[in-house]
Amino acid sequence: MRVRLTKDFTFEAAHLLPKAPEGHKCRRLHGHSFRVEVTVEGEVDPETGWLLDYGLIRDRVEPVRAQLDHYYLNEVPGLSNATSENLARWIWEKLKPALPSLTAVTIHETCEARCQYEGR
């Protein structure tokens, strides 16, 4: 049986978008309560009845989350242009070695806007 598991985590952070058009509101410093979905996919182990322990996903995500929570994202190496798109890719690159079954990272920047990255 093939399944997808998704574990959410949150962090608070500030950023600005230096490449947004002049006068665009996102060029100014502002913050978000980000919600991130980390999705893994694979075959369920018939012995255990699960693909992965959700706790393992949490443990792999926590060091990455700690690098972002209550930071100015533009100062995090690799996030000088901290768009949702770049943030999703940045998180993917940090998590993929520790979570080989990773299939998607979804960034919820607001309640109404999100970006999904699937490592392509």
Q: Annotated catalytic residue: which of 37, 41, 93, 109?
A: 109
Q: 109 catalytic, yes or no?
A: yes
Selection from 99, 97, 73, 72 nearest residue 87 by Cα: 73
Q: 111 catalytic, yes or no?
A: no
Q: Annotated catalytic residue: which of 26, 32, 37, 93?
A: 26
**H or E element in which residue 117 lies:** strand 114-117
Q: Give the integer Cα–Cα distance in Å for 85 and 92.
A: 11
Q: 24 catalytic, yes or no?
A: no
Q: Annotated catalytic residue: which of 43, 62, 70, 75?
A: 70
The set of catalytic residues is 26, 70, 109
